[in-house]
């Protein structure tokens, strides 16, 4: 049940339910379904129609919006996206998120930080969630190219949207939604000035893309390359915690 409190002492309920379809995707599913049914039954083109019906199911599945159990520890940074970790690197954060934006609101400090990149395939859930709770200080859309989102230069050259969230303790977390080869639209659900909770839905990207998260200084990743992420649930890092992680594929 949405909104129920659970913990690691066994309190709460564990059940499964069909994920909802986000309203942003229903119109695409309905259009695809109408075309498929028209082709299949009115024109009797079953050879084409049945694949179109399967495609309609795929469209609805793409926009699925499952509930997530979000950790409430204030020191944790959770994954904003489903997918796989494809890069963990030391970089300078985007210029759009650094320093004063002219309105008197500070941005990320300059200097090298850890960036975690999460690649979403067309089979992943594409609803993105906030890695921390706080106030949305910036939401900046940047037009650009549509290269493979897994490339390092996609962070600077692809169409993207930067989001900066300030926690109640003043810590700033920046993350970026990046369009890819197939993705052609970044849809925000929030705006500057909004107060949001950790794990809250903040937007989606149609269809397949990447999200970069910039950890604050003095914070290391708690995930490894290739690890599967679950938006709103998987812990990316603990603020102020540095540790070397090693993993073995098996």
Strand ranges (DSSP E) for the chain?
20-21, 64-65, 76-78, 83-91, 113-120, 127-129, 134-142, 160-166, 172-179, 185-188, 195-196, 201-206, 209-214, 228-229, 235-238
Question: Given 79, 130, 155, 209, which residue is catalytic?
Answer: 209
155 catalytic, yes or no?
Answer: no
What tokens does 64 get?
């699925």
Strand partners, 113: 91
Cα–Cα distances in angstroms (integers) from residue 69 to residues 12, 41, 66, 109, 231, in the given order: 11, 42, 10, 31, 10
Active site amino acids = 209
């Amino acid at each position: 049940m949405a909104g129920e409190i659970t913990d690691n002492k066994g309190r709460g309920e564990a059940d499964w339910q069909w994920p909802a379809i986000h309203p942003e995707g229903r119109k695409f599913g309905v259009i695809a379904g109408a075309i498929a049914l028209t082709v299949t039954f009115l024109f009797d083109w079953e050879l084409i129609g049945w694949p179109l019906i399967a495609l309609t199911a795929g469209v609805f599945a793409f926009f699925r919006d499952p509930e997530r159990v979000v950790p409430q520890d204030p020191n944790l940074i959770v994954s904003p996206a489903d997918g796989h970790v494809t890069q963990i690197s030391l970089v300078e954060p985007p210029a759009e998120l650094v320093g004063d934006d002219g309105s008197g609101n500070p941005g990320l400090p300059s200097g090298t930080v850890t960036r975690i990149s999460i690649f979403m395939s067309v089979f992943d859930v594409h609803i993105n969630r906030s890695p921390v709770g706080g106030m949305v200080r910036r939401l900046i859309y940047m037009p650009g190219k549509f290269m493979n989102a897994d490339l390092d230069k996609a962070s600077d050259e692809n169409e993207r949207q930067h989001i900066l969230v300030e926690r109640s303790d003043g810590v700033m977390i920046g993350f970026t939604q990046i369009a890819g080869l197939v993705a052609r639209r970044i849809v925000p659900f929030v705006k500057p000035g909004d107060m949001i909770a950790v794990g809250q839905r903040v937007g989606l990207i149609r269809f397949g893309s990447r999200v970069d998260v910039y950890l604050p200084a003095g914070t290391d990743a708690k995930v490894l390359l290739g690890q599967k992420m679950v938006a709103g649930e998987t812990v990316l890092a603990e603020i102020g915690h540095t540790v070397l992680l090693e993993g073995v594929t098996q």
